[in-house]
Amino acid sequence: MRLAVLFSGGKDSSYTIMKAKEKNLDVCLLFTLNPRSTKSWLFHHPFIQWTGLQAEAMNLPIMTYDVESEGEGERDELERHLKDIKIRFGIEGIAAGAIASQYQKKRIEKTASNLGIEIFTPLWGREPLELLRDQVRSGLDIRIIAVAALGLGQEWLGRRLDEDAVAELGQLNRRYGVNPSGEGGEYETFVVDSPLFRWRIAFRNMRMVWLGDGGHLEIEMAELVDKE
């Protein structure tokens, strides 16, 4: 099956690519949507501008579309753009890194049904902490780029997700109810290296923006560099 991956650059869509390849699915395209609204419920938005570097590192084409709508209008734009790549690239399915969001999954399923293509969601229903451990152990180099939850302070920005971080997120889950996978928007991630990458991504001129109870990183420049 020729598959397009709804790709944000974060851990879940990156891991979805790995799981698709394990199933011998033909990942032929990355499909990135850049929402105008920073409060989008359907699409991830931090660091979208750098997904092209990830695509280049994986030697995959990428199509990026701006999304001007909000709320239910986002699904209409998803369908319009997905129809475009179905025609242009002959895709037969769409993959997404949805874990527990019924809002997201139902809208992707409806879109796929309307276009007559299949949907592949290999992370759906996974226990969050177990999934996060698997993602860390898969070889993904995952960095936290935004936080917005009790217990996640400035020290988490830029941090690599490793076994120690997973254990701390488990503790925060028990203490504050933080979803270890970040599915509730508690944190956002970006993958700078992967077993599928020919090069890794290096950030230059990085700065932290902190706004009271949450914050994010801003990057002026990023580039592909040789793996060490």
pLDDT over threshold 70, residue 27: yes
- For 57, the 3-state DSSP assignment is helix
**C-alpha dihedral sign at 212, 215, 219, 220:** negative
pLDDT over threshold 80, residue 127: yes
Gap between the Cα atoms of 209 and 220, Å rounded: 13
SS3 content of the chain, % helix, strand, coil (to 5): 35, 30, 35
Average pLDDT over every residue of 191-218 = 93
Q: What is the pLDDT of residue 3?
A: 97
Strand order in the sheet with 200-210: 187-193, 141-147, 215-225, 200-210
Average pLDDT over every residue of 104-126 = 93
Which residue, 118, 14, 98, 116, is CA-closest to 60?
Answer: 14
Going by pLDDT thresholds of 50, 70 and 90, the confidence category of residue 226 is: very high
DSSP bridge pairs for 143: 160, 190
Q: What is the pLDDT of residues 135-189, one digit of tens each?
A: 999 999 999 999 999 999 999 999 999 999 999 999 999 999 999 999 888 999 9
Average pLDDT over every residue of 96-119 = 91
pLDDT over threshold 60, residue 39: no
- Taken in order of first residue, the domains within the chain and their CATH numbers are 2-120 (3.40.50.620), 128-225 (3.90.1490.10)
This prediction has a pTM of 0.94
Place of tokens 């932290």: 208
> Average pLDDT, whole number, for the chain?
91
pLDDT over threshold 60, residue 37: no
Q: What is the pLDDT of residue 104?
A: 83
Residue pair 163/147 in contact (Cβ under 8 Å)? The answer is no
Q: What is the pLDDT of residue 166?
A: 97
Q: What is the pLDDT of residues 42-91, one digit of tens each?
A: 556 668 889 999 999 999 999 998 887 666 677 888 899 999 999 999 99
pLDDT over threshold 70, residue 103: yes
